[in-house]
Amino acid sequence: GVGRKTTDESEHLTWRDGVKVPCGKLVPSGNEHGPLEYNEFAVYDPKQVRPSYQTRRQR
C-alpha cells in the first residue's frame, strides 16, 4: 500500500542487477488522505524474494 510518507527518490541506492533500494529522508508522498503512514510491501510468494541485509557496527 502507498503511505502518506515515502523516502526521497534522489537518495535511493542502486544495488547489483539494477535493484533500487529505498532509503533516505521521509518526504510527503502526495497521498495525504491514505490510511497508511508509510509504504508497505507484501510478499505473496517467498520464492520470489532473496533477503539481503547490510549492517554497520561502530567501535
Q: What's the pLDDT tens digit per position in 20-34? A: 888 889 999 999 898
Domain boundaries, the chain: 5-45
Write down the pLDDT at residue 15: 85
Alpha helices by DSSP H, listed for the chain, are none
Q: Examine the pLDDT at 8 and tell me if it is beyond 90.
A: yes
Phi, psi for residue 49 in degrees, rounded to 5? -125, 155
Could you tell me the three cell numbers for 59?
567501535
Write down the pLDDT at residue 10: 93
Q: Are 5 and 32 in contact (CB under 8 A)?
A: no
Q: What's the pLDDT tens digit per position in 36-57? A: 998 888 899 999 888 887 788 8
